[in-house]
Structure 1
């Protein structure tokens, strides 16, 4: 079994726990409030704006034996530049305040996920950062386009409110093959273990971001409200 296949196999349970979260299943079924979608985008802004700095930090910490991976990180950086602006554009297209979202504080769950990514690079094996890449890109490939279509239909939002989800659903399909090739070149057992370890943590941390999204309380029936 190549390493990429082993990585998927050893994180399958963590991945299943994430994708079966009620808020994700509700989004796929179109049962989502505009406030929840805007909060998702706001939290996405708060972690997406760190993607390029994290890639840079990871590349700087790689040992000379992984120069080929540093070169690949350069390609990732070029692809990821400015994506946080797409998220803010989507927030504005939803009728929400773009500037307020950019000035807001991330949720605790989002802040902890980003902090763990920096810590993995600075204190652990920097290759572990690719565990986060697996979680974020893999989730996009599996869910982003389907979720965007369902939410657009349910909420009647313009297509311009889904540039982040739609672009990442398509873009990350391309990235998935690139990522698979990189993982299959990792032949050091410590590097492989670091990616698996981090991926399992990031599935939990990213799941917490979804668990903490703002979900409006259901309206009371008229009789109870009275």
Structure 2
């Protein structure tokens, strides 16, 4: 069994719990109200804007023996730079207030997610970053295409659905992260370091829960509001 296969197996419970979150199921099947989608984009902005900083933090804590990992992290930084601006553009395209989001503070679940990954990189292992990558990239690749289709059908008039405006961040991650997942698999299968592997598994399990709490929090914030998009 490869490490990637072990990672999939040992995070199955957390992954299934994440996918089963009611608001995620509704988004995949029927879409959600535009206010809820904008709330998601607002929280996505706040964790995505830390991605390059987290990758850099992990690279800075590696040793010369981690040259292959450092190279991968630097490549990742180049690919992830500026994605938070995609999110602000989507918010603006859907009539949201991008400047307000830029100047706002994230909700507590988002703060805890970002803070935990910083902590894990600094105090557990720089390889903990790959636990977060596994969850966010894996979930994007698995769900973004379906979610984009459902959300566009629910929120965008039929004659405007081909434009993709308002969904550039989400839709791009459907195809882009398929490539990232393959890159990730090759990277982790070549580690051969038991401590690094365990740090990845542990962080992935925790990130599934913390990332899920972002969606649970958004759903709770709209309690009592009709779920019909």
Match of 2:9 in 1: 9
2:222 is the counterpart of 1:215: yes
CA contact (8 A) 2:33 2:155 kept: yes
Choose from 173, 188, 198 the match for 1:183.
Answer: 188
TM-aligned CA deviation for residue 104 of structure 1:
1.0
**1: distance between equivalents of 2:49 and 2:223?**
27
Any residues of structure 2 matched to 1:130-169 within 5 Å, and which? Answer: 130-156=130-156, 159-169=164-174
CA contact (8 A) 2:31 2:153 kept: no
TM-aligned CA deviation for residue 65 of structure 1:
1.4
**2: distance between equivalents of 1:137 and 1:52?**
14
TM-score by length of 1: 0.94
Match of 2:209 in 1: 204
CA contact (8 A) 1:109 1:205 kept: yes
TM-aligned CA deviation for residue 12 of structure 1:
0.8
Match of 1:68 in 2: 68
Alignment coverage as a number of residue pairs: 219
TM-aligned CA deviation for residue 122 of structure 1:
1.1
Match of 1:37 in 2: 37
**1: distance between equivalents of 2:104 and 2:225?**
26
CA contact (8 A) 1:33 1:215 kept: no
Unaligned runs of 5+ in 1: 220-226
RMSD across aligned C-alpha pairs, in angstroms? 1.1
Match of 1:193 in 2: 198
TM-aligned CA deviation for residue 215 of structure 1:
2.3
TM-score by length of 2: 0.93
CA contact (8 A) 1:131 1:197 kept: yes
TM-aligned CA deviation for residue 216 of structure 1:
5.3
Q: Deviations over 1:85-113 (max 9, x none)?
A: 00000000110111001111101000000
TM-aligned CA deviation for residue 212 of structure 1:
0.5
**2: distance between equivalents of 1:171 and 1:20?**
24
Unaligned runs of 5+ in 2: none
Q: Find runs of 4+ consecutive structure 1 residues off by over 6 angstroms.
A: none
